[in-house]
Amino acid sequence: MQRAGKIGGVFGLPAHGRPGGKGPAGIRARLLAMRDPALSFGDQALASACNFLTTILLARALGLEAFGLYTMVWLPLYFAMSLQLGLIVSPMMSIGTKEQGEQAEAYYTVIFFHQAGFVVVATIAIFAVLMLVTGTGSPLADAALPGSMAAASYLTQDFLRRYLFARRRPAGILVIDVINQSLKLGALAALWQAGAINVANALWAVAGAAAVSTICGVGMSGPLLWRRQILTTVTLRQWRSARWLVLTGSVQWVLGYSGLLVTAGLFGPKVLGALRAAQSLLAVLNVVREALENIVPPLAGKALAEGGMPGLHRLLGRAMLFVGLIGAAAVVGLGLFGPWLLHQLYGGEILEFDWVIIWYSFALPMALMSLVLGCAFRALERTRPLFIATLVGGCLNLLAVYPAALAFGVAGLIAVTLLSELSVLIVLVILAFRIPGLLAGPPAAPASGRMMTVPSP
C-alpha cells in the first residue's frame, strides 16, 4: 500500500498519485512536493523585501511630504486591486484548481478575457479620479497619467502572478518578479542618483518595470483554449463566487485605507508619509500573508475535492496553527526591535512616529487567521460570510475612525484599526462554527462514500 506524501509541508494535504515509502523514491516524492511551496515562499520573500527597499528609497529620496503624495496616488489603485481580487482572482484561485485538461485551458481563457476588460475600465477610472476629483491644478492631477499607466501595468502583472500560482508554475512567477523588482529598483536608484526623482518619474519607473515583466509573463501563460460557448457559463459561475467577494473587497479597502484618508485630510501628506513608512516595516512580513493568499486557496480546493469536509478541516487546523505561531513571533520581534529599525532605516524624520510599529504589529496575527478562514469559505464557494464579517469591521471603522482621530490623533486611528480587525475575526469564527465539520470537528462521513458540500446561494 502506498503512503501519501505531503504538499505544502505544514498543511499536510495528500499528494495524489505520488509514491511514498522510505526509499529514495519516497524521499524524492517528498522533496518534489515541497518544491513548489518553497519556491512560492521564496518568491514572496523576494517581493516583500524589494517592496520594502522601494519604500525606503522613495521615502528618503522624495522626503516624507512628497512620499505622502505618492501614497495618495496609489490609494485608488489599491481600491482597483481589491475589486480585481474579488471579481477575478479569488474565484479563479478556488475554481480553477478544480478544472483539468482542456476544461482548465478554456476556463482560464475566459478569465483572461475578463481581466483585459477590467484593466481597461480601471485605468480610465483611476485617471479620471486623479485628474477630475482632485482638481486640474493639484499635484495629484499632475500624476494622473503616470499613475493610471502604473495602475494598468501593476494590475496586469499581479493578475499574471496569481494566475501562474493557480496553474502551479512558481518558477515562472519567480522569473517575472525578479525582472519586475530589479528593473524597478534599478530605475528608481538611477533617478535618485541623477537628481531627477519626483512623484511622476517614480510612477513611470514602476509602470515600465511592471510592463516589461507582464510581457514576459504572457509568454508563460499558455496553453489556453478559446471556447465561446462556455463564456456565459464561466462568467455566471465566477459571479456567483465573486458577488460577495467584490463587496467584501470594497469594504476591506475602506477597512484598510480609511485611516490613511482621514490622516491625509486631518494631518496632511507628511504625517501620511510617515505612517506609510512605518507600515512598510510590518509589510515585510506580508511575505507570509501573500504566500498564504496564493498557496492556501488551491490547497483548500484540492483538500475539499479529494477528502471532503474532513480533508478541509484538517488543512484548516494546520494552517491556523501555523499562522498563529507566525503572528505571535512577529508581535514579539517588532515589539523588541521595531522602533530601532525605523530609526535606522528612515532617519530622524520618523522619530515621533516610531511607536506606531508596535501597535500595528497586533493586526498581523488577526489578519492572518481571518485570511485562512476566508480561504476555507472560498473553497466551499460560500463567500457571503466573508462579506458579512468584513462589513461589520468596515462599519465599525467608518463610524469610529474620524471621531477617534479628532479625539486621540494617530493613536485613535490605530486603535480603531485593531478593533476592526478583531471584529472581522470574531464574526468569521462564529460563522465558521455554523458549518458542520469546518471548525468544530469533521462530520461523520456517510457509509456510501465521501461527504460532499453544496455551495450556498
- Cα 345 to its chain centre, rounded Å, is 25
What's the pLDDT score for residue 439? 79
- Tell me the domain boundaries of the chain: 35-433
Distance CA 108, CA 269 (A): 41
Question: Alpha helices of 347-362 — where are they, by DSSP H?
Answer: 356-361
Helix (H) or strand (E) holding 150: helix 144-166
| Residue pLDDT, tens place only, 38-79 | 777 777 778 878 888 898 889 888 887 888 888 888 888 988
pLDDT for position 46: 83
pTM of the model: 0.67
End-to-end CA distance of the chain: 41
Residue 120 one-letter amino acid: V
pLDDT at 135: 63
Return the closest-CA partner of residue 402 out of 251, 249, 252, 267: 267
User: Cβ(157)–Cβ(214) under 8 Å?
Assistant: yes
Query: 345 burial class (0-12, 13-18, 19+ CB within 10 angstroms)?
Result: middle
Predicted confidence (pLDDT) at residue 447 exceeds the cutoff of 70? no
Let me know: does 148 contact 123? Beta carbons within 8 Å: yes
Which of 336 and 289 is assigned the larger pLDDT?
336
Q: Who's near 10: CB < 8 A, 6+ residues apart?
A: 318, 319, 321, 322
> 367 with 289: CB under 8 angstroms?
yes
Confidence class of residue 127 from pLDDT cuts 50, 70 and 90?
A: very high
pLDDT tens, 356-399?
788 888 988 998 999 999 888 888 878 788 888 988 988 888 88
By CB neighbour count within 10 A (0-12 exposed, 13-18 middle, 19+ buried), where does 350 fall?
Answer: buried
Highest mean pLDDT among 131-140, 216-225, 256-265, 359-368: 359-368
Tell me the three state secondary structure of residue 14: strand
Q: What is the DSSP string of 234-264?
A: HHHHHHHHHHHHHHHHHHHHHHHHHHHHHHH
pLDDT in tens, 67-120: 888 888 888 898 898 889 888 888 887 777 677 677 778 888 888 888 999 999
